[in-house]
C-alpha cells in the first residue's frame, strides 16, 4: 500500500504542467494553442519569452528529480525495496506525458526525463544532457536531439549502472519518449521539422 501511495504521488507530481502554469502567470498564450501545441520548454521558446521557456524547463526537470530523490529517501525510511524508486521514476514521467489535471494531454517528456536521470545518477544525467546539447547545437532541431539522447540513455545506464532493473526502467522511459515524438520523426523525414528558437 505504501508503495502504491508513493507511485500515485509521483504520478500526480508529474501531472503538474509547468508550461501551462508559467504561461498563465506571465499572461502568455496557452502553449497548447500555438507552435507544436506541446506544453514544453521548446514550444514555450516560440512565445518569444526566453524566461518562460527557462522556468518551464527548470520546473519540468525539477519534478522528475524530486520524485526520484524523495522516493529514495522515503524507501529507506519505510524499509521499502529499491524498486519503488524506479516505479516512481516511471510514474512521474508518465504523469508528465498523460497528466490527469489536463485531460491526459501532456508534454513529450524530455526535461522531466532528464530530471529523472539526474536523480537516478548525476553522471547519467550529465551524459544525456551533453548528448542533447551536442545534437541541438549542431542540428538546431530539438526533437532530433531528444530522440538521439533517448536511444543512447539506456546504453549509458548499462555502462554506468549495469544492465539490470535501472537500465530496463530507463529503456521504458526512452521508448515512451520516442513514441511521443513520432509526429516529429515524420516531419524530420519530410524535412518539415521546426528548429529551436524559430517562432511559429
Tens digits of residue pLDDT in 3-42: 999 999 999 999 999 999 999 999 888 888 887 778 888 7
Phi, psi of 51 (to 5 degrees): -60, -40
* Contact between residue 150 and residue 174 where contact means Cβ atoms under 8 Å apart: yes
pLDDT digits (tens, 9 = 90+) for 71-112: 999 998 999 988 999 999 999 999 999 999 989 999 999 999
Going by the DSSP 8-state scheme, the letter that residue 158 receives in this structure is H
The domains of the chain are located at 2-190
Among positive and negative, which fits the CA dihedral 189, 31, 151, 141? Answer: positive
**Greater pLDDT, 44 or 35:** 44
pLDDT at residue 169 greater than cutoff 80: yes
Q: Give the confidence band of 198 by pLDDT, cuts at 50, 70, 90.
A: low
pLDDT digits (tens, 9 = 90+) for 102-147: 899 999 999 999 999 999 999 999 999 999 999 999 999 989 999 9
Query: How far is it, in rounded angstroms, from Cα 44 to Cα 31?
Result: 6
* Contact between residue 181 and residue 175 where contact means Cβ atoms under 8 Å apart: no
Query: How far is it, in rounded angstroms, from Cα 62 to Cα 114?
Result: 9
* Contact between residue 107 and residue 130 where contact means Cβ atoms under 8 Å apart: no
Amino acid at each position: 500500500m505504501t508503495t502504491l501511495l508513493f507511485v500515485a504521488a509521483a504520478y500526480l507530481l508529474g501531472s503538474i504542467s509547468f508550461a501551462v502554469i508559467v504561461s498563465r502567470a506571465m499572461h502568455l498564450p496557452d502553449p497548447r494553442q500555438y507552435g507544436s501545441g506541446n506544453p514544453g520548454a521548446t514550444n514555450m521558446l516560440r512565445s518569444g519569452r526566453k524566461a518562460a521557456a527557462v522556468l518551464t524547463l527548470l520546473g519540468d526537470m525539477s519534478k522528475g528529480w524530486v520524485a526520484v530523490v524523495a522516493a529514495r529517501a522515503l524507501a529507506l525510511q519505510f524499509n521499502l525495496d529499491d524498486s519503488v524508486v524506479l516505479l516512481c521514476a516511471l510514474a512521474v514521467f508518465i504523469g508528465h506525458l498523460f497528466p490527469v489535471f489536463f485531460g491526459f494531454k501532456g508534454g513529450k517528456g524530455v526535461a522531466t526525463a532528464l530530471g529523472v536521470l539526474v536523480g537516478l545518477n548525476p553522471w547519467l544525467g550529465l551524459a544525456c544532457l551533453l548528448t542533447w546539447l551536442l545534437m541541438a547545437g549542431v542540428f538546431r532541431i530539438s526533437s532530433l536531439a531528444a530522440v538521439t539522447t533517448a536511444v543512447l540513455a539506456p546504453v549509458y545506464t548499462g555502462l554506468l549502472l549495469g544492465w539490470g532493473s535501472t537500465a530496463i526502467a530507463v529503456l521504458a522511459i526512452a521508448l515512451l519518449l520516442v513514441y511521443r515524438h513520432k509526429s516529429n520523426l515524420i516531419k524530420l523525414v519530410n524535412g518539415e521539422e521546426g528548429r529551436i528558437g524559430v517562432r511559429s
